[in-house]
Structure 1
């Protein structure tokens, strides 16, 4: 705890969408025995066909930067097939990691002919994603960071904020209200300031315990201003742009262009690096889950977060490995962070690898917030060990620059008129269930309005979700609901 509390006063987390470790950083250190990346001969079987090897396109055009297309499967049942194979079943045995291709070609959101086997085995090179690659090499990369569960986006983001998914494996069906205690509420109790900075709609607003704290929700432009003026809170959480608007999404959710996410990573780093608080800041860049993209490392077993008798899954296994890059002037250049020797993974019991609840453990220990939220973050390793310099002597580059990219009008229009992906549909539903706080006249009325709304949700009174099919249809509605909630 000493390194955390004495060196760090500000923790900033940027969580992107749906990319595996191998897909983004598998070739970061191509010939390094201390780094668990791709060696190039990995493959996955395709039923009754030759195996499909890992590969990279090398190009930086829009099509090459949007692989895999179409969107892979990410439901709990999809991930089980990806982990255990076409005919495998979950159990105590280590996952074989040989079902990614067979699962991908069985998706049905689009015509079957669109699901070619090759895209799911694709990985990006350092030349294609120079920003995250440069930061990973200049500071630290963790090659043992797993999604908290082999589940969809919402469950894994819930783990980051609450230490549990409350027994829910998928985004849908929804289970409003979500009343889990959060790390943000724990910060409130300790009078530590926090902020959630978002682009279009913050997924964190699915957590009803955050509804009374609207003053802590800000635009991403506010983040850049707060960093510039030395006003960053103790804990900042950044959400990307999930929908196309005047710009393309920058969340990197397949098949969204990963170059847009590179721009966001650069914006966040440049803001933090040039802030007066740089020498007291830890920046964590990670992804909620793998989104169906191939990774070769079997996830270990995990400690269930609570006593929820979840069916059919007990949340006793981590999800697929995801990218995690740690940035601070207290980090030695070229650090590869892990909690256990590679030959000990997967295994049962401690030492446990890093997962999203490591962020909860880090925030708790850094700001002296007391005990764990759940059994999962109780055993999660925190990030104290990554701060391996005695003084903040690794300043890194003053700025980082993403590859240039110009969005064409036709590309933006195609994105606006594309079908909503599963995550966008879930956010659309979440916006529908926000309380209309603009109707409240004062703070007391706001609290009463929230309490009444939660009681209605508990009793099953649900608003009807409009039948919007595309971002062009859904986003104006989402913005109106968010404005009514925030009182703007």
Structure 2
């Protein structure tokens, strides 16, 4: 009987399209192989459930990142219908896949041609029409990407449940102080020799509005590498700006928080290059900036380390050319074009020159009647932001959409963050209220830091990695890595990321490229850029683990109201001008010598469920079956399990993981209560030398397995007792931030 997955696809692998329709029809009509399935089965027909003798087989629908879903296709003697067990609506994507892999077989079994007119599918609860594959809508789902400009700790350092100012793994520098303590020289202030992060609007009043159009430090290569200070990361005030160490709270950027916390926020997403706008947008669209040793050669332009839009090259401190413009390697949209993937850059004429395709020789020389031109660099009614809103509403977005907003709404300083929040709200609401939302992923990210600091030392490649390391062209910091750089805000809006999660994997702009490759692969397209460095491809996240494709949530949150950006009488955006005129002194006073950790390193109370492989930087609660791993206190030499709480706030249940390597999945685990480590079996020990190493693995939809050195796993039985077992079990894990 064909109830087994391997029988369903035979020896053809996991691609159902490799199994010929005739072969599927033959199997479906084979009495001997399907006799056991020829039983009355309730199949919804015409909106009513009826019992009809059916023949059925299982087929694999290529959905859900690396996963694929098995569904039953039912062969009916008289009625062409199909049913999926499960009380939920079918998405347009699933319906289309069923039309490809089920209906042709049904028709073939009945002696037809393999095609059916006006096919319809029914779920348990309701019916949906199959989308017309001939329409210009992506019949297999779509992905939209918006790249804003700058900021990280400044935005989300106080957010609940993320790696922010409550980071238990913050680097301790040789002076014994954490990276939060930035060095200050007497010329800056005689009152102190350090500066902690500070709330920009602490003074209130005037500055609540003034700081919206302030400028902090510089976003270019030299001051950012100087702030890194050889990995100590403690020279932001000295080498960039003292305001670089300031931050906002939720009340200052409520829309950003609402979007990020309503879906999934990534707290380890980094800029592609530790520099400014153009290098990072070029990475976003091509996967590289042509650092020596990569996949390009010197004649193709670059290495792109700073903004340079003048033809020709700059000369570095070693007398070598760099920042050579324009660029001549293949962009990611060209790979889409070659593969027949539909794509579009949506933008208006006031795009701040933020469409990086115009920096490439090919696009500069395109004729206006070509597909690449019209989809990539044109300005017309078909690719405006209004066109994006209309396409999203109608469910006619292409497979891949790039959104390039107006400069005044980009949040690039001194443009106001609240104006950028307004734009993000328009885009999010267009997508989630559109007809295609059930099949759509929207990613919102930022290109670079904008001169704002970040306390996390960038995750990067080993010295000498081809295409990653370069001699500093300005002769200041020696041989250094080009990126990935400091962290940026990044959040993913989709039914599969809904619900307030934090994604913890190392990621950068290349991750978006690789996710699209994975997404398209599941839809039958073979698209892989050959321009990305090997290290990025093998070490940066593909973002797939941010999604739970088995448990979509189609609910839509209500986002906060926010005022529309100011415009003139003709509707032109005014940008930061009115703010700067009304508030001529935008930068707030620095709290020199007035700070304490308790007043500076603050986070909102709360939690987020964790997704993706673990990295350091959070207090974690591990729960299973209504219980949580617990440190009973100093009187006990073993850890136990106690009842979990709804808010996951109990300090006895908080743990901290300590990575053995920067990019591995092996950790020691300590208690937030008293710093003791988990030792052998279920013991608690006073020092990390006696700690047991745990291998922590993640399974989407299930959680985290904690595997001991001997290969066994931690678990909690139904009576709330910690056990060691050979059977893998998964803990639901929460990242928590509480002040007590």
Corresponding residue to 1:16 among 131, 145, 148: 148
1:135 and 2:259 aligned: yes
The answer as to 2:308 corresponding to 1:152 is: no
| Residue deviations 1:1-35 (CA, integer Å, cap 9, x gap) | 8522867721111101121x211111111xx4xx2
1:322 is displaced (CA, Å) by 0.5
Matched ranges for 1:84-483 at <5 A = 84=229, 90=230, 95-105=231-241, 117=242, 119-166=243-290, 167-172=303-308, 174=310, 175-199=324-348, 200-201=350-351, 202-204=354-356, 205-211=358-364, 212=366, 213-216=372-375, 217=378, 218-242=383-407, 249-302=408-461, 307=467, 310-312=470-472, 315=481, 317-339=483-505, 353-368=506-521, 369-373=526-530, 374-375=532-533, 376-379=535-538, 380-397=540-557, 399-404=558-563, 407=566, 412=574, 415=577
State the distance in 2 between where 1:405 and 1:188 align: 36
Q: What is the TM-score normalised by the length of structure 2?
A: 0.47
Q: SS at 1:192's partner residue?
A: coil
| Partner Cα distance (1:16, 1:123) in 2 | 18
Shift of 1:330: 1.0
Task: Give the whole-Å Cα distance in 2 for the aligned partners of 1:10 and 1:393.
Answer: 17
Q: How does 1:31-110 map to 2 (within 5 A)?
A: 32=161, 35-39=162-166, 42-48=180-186, 49=189, 50=192, 51-56=194-199, 57=201, 61-67=208-214, 69=215, 71-84=216-229, 90=230, 95-105=231-241
Match of 2:147, SS state, is strand
**In the superposition, relative to structure 1, how do residues 220 and 275 fare at CA in structure 2: closer, same or farther (>3 Å)?**
same
- CA change 1:142–1:219 in 2 (3 A) is same
- CA shift at 1:394, angstroms? 4.2
Secondary structure of 2:144 counterpart: strand
Q: What SS is found at the alignment partner of 1:83?
A: helix
CA separation of 1:406/1:234 partners in 2, compared to 1, >3 Å: closer, same or farther? Answer: closer
- Per-residue deviation, 1:308: 8.5
More strand by share: 2
The 2-side partners of 1:296 and 1:308 are apart by 22
How many angstroms apart in 2 are the aligned matches of 1:308 and 1:333? 36
Tell me, yes or no, if the aligned pair for 1:159 and 1:165 is still in contact at 8 Å: yes
**Which structure's residues are more often helix, by fraction?**
1
- Tell me if the contact between 1:140 and 1:386 (Cα under 8 Å) persists in the aligned partners: yes
Label 1:289 to 1:46 Cα distance change in 2 as closer, same or farther (>3 A). same
Contact (CA 8 Å) 1:43, 1:121: kept in 2 or not?
no
Change (3 A) 1:228 1:409: closer
Distance 1:252 1:236 in 2: 20
Q: In terms of Rg, which structure is larger?
A: 2
Compared with structure 1, are the counterparts of its residues 171 and 232 closer, same or farther at alpha carbon in structure 2 (3 Å cutoff)?
Answer: same
**Offset, 1:314:** 6.2
Comparing 46-55 and 73-82, the one that deviates more: 46-55
Distance 1:14 1:251, change over 3 A: same
Alpha-carbon distance in 1 for matches of 2:249, 2:330:
39
> Which runs of 5 or more residues in structure 1 are unaligned?
85-89, 106-116, 243-248, 340-352, 419-488
SS, match of residue 146 in structure 1? coil
Paired with 1:389 and 1:364, the residues of 2 have a C-alpha distance of 17
Summarize deviations over 1:227-246 as a string: whole Å, max 9, x none: 1111111111111211xxxx
Deviation, 1:76, is: 1.2
CA contact (8 A) 2:409 2:575 kept: no
Structure 2 equivalent of residue 435 of structure 1? none
Q: Which fold has the larger relative contact order, with Cα–Cα distance below 8 Å and residues 6 or more apart in sequence?
A: 1
Is the alpha carbon distance of 1:314 and 1:230 closer, same or farther for their aligned partners in structure 2, counting shifts above 3 Å? same
Shift of 1:148: 1.1
8 Å contact from structure 1 (residues 22, 296) kept in 2: yes
Report which stretch shifted further, 172-181 or 161-170.
172-181
User: Aligned pairs, how many?
Assistant: 370
For 2:564 and 2:438, locate their aligned partners in 1 and report how far apart those are by CA, in whole Å. Answer: 31
Distance in 2 separating the partners of 1:309 and 1:295? 21
Using a 3 Å threshold, how does the CA distance of structure 1 residues 305 and 372 change in structure 2: closer, same or farther? farther
Contact 1:100–1:294, Cα closer than 8 Å, also in 2: yes
Question: Aligned with 1:180: secondary structure?
Answer: coil
Q: Structure 2: how far apart are the matches of 1:414 and 1:355?
A: 29
* Structure 2 stretches lacking a partner, 5+ long: 1-61, 69-92, 94-139, 168-177, 291-302, 311-323, 367-371, 473-478, 581-740
Q: Which string of whole-angstrom CA distances, capped at 9 and with x for unpartnered residues, describes residues 339-377 of structure 1?
A: 2xxxxxxxxxxxxx1000001101111112343432255
Q: Is the 8 A contact 1:197 1:219 kept in 2?
A: yes
